[in-house]
Amino acid sequence: MTLSFPASRLRATLNKLTALYADMDKAYVAAASAAGLDCTGCAENCCLSFFQHHTLVEWFYLQKGLAALPEDRRAGYERRAREYVDAAREAASRGETPRLMCPVNDDGLCGLYEHRLMICRLHGVPNVLLGSMGIREFPGCGPCQKLAAGRQLKAMDRTPLLRRLATLEMELWGGKPGRPPKVDLTLAEMIVAGPPGK
């Protein structure tokens, strides 16, 4: 499927996503501080987790970050992304959940930190999500759960943040008939595929 959006709408939507990401970062910092969570040097690096992303707007945001990189660095991430996709398929063929380093991780640091996606910004802290199937609770990553043991931490409510993300997805889609196409891609798959609808 070929996708195209007016440049002004795409630009405006990505600007709103930047503001939403800033709010996500604030919510994460507050929750992490309350838990005493510091990810520096964590052996359970969440960059090894198998995450799928679900919106066109985030996919465009990631591609914007990639496009701003020097060509050699971008090419390196693209090569690593292809290797990741191949290794993930191989793991899945064995019935395993892939546990592979994110292709934009450079020695423990995100090479696209300002353009990282929602799950990369919110993972780790205790959080709740109110959806059509009720309340879903995530107790936090392993290190966070250890820090929280015996304490009653207030979970970060992801619901308003995800609703805003869904609203941005629909704003990007505009008045087109139907709904945006379903996205179920890892960051590596998004890099390999190039911009949405390419």
Compute the C-alpha angle 138/125/143, nearest 5°.
100
The answer, as to whether pTM is greater than 0.85, is yes
- State both tokens at 96: 């395993």
pLDDT, position 143:
85
Query: Of 155, 79, 73, 139, nearest to 110 (Cα)?
Result: 73
CA 141 to chain centre: 16
pLDDT at 198 > cutoff 80? no
**Sequence-separated (6 or more) residues with CB below 8 Å from residue 12:** 171
Residue 168 CA to residue 11 CA, distance in Å, equals 12
Kindly state the average pLDDT of the residues 75-83.
Answer: 98
Kindly state the average pLDDT of the residues 9-26.
Answer: 98
Residue 15 CA to residue 83 CA, distance in Å, equals 32
Range of 2-11, 110-119, 174-183 with top mean pLDDT: 110-119
pLDDT, position 2:
64
Kindly state the average pLDDT of the residues 142-156.
Answer: 86
Task: Report residue 44's pLDDT band, with 50, 70 and 90 as the boundaries.
Answer: confident
Report residue 51: phi and psi, to 5°. -110, 140
pLDDT at 62 > cutoff 80? yes
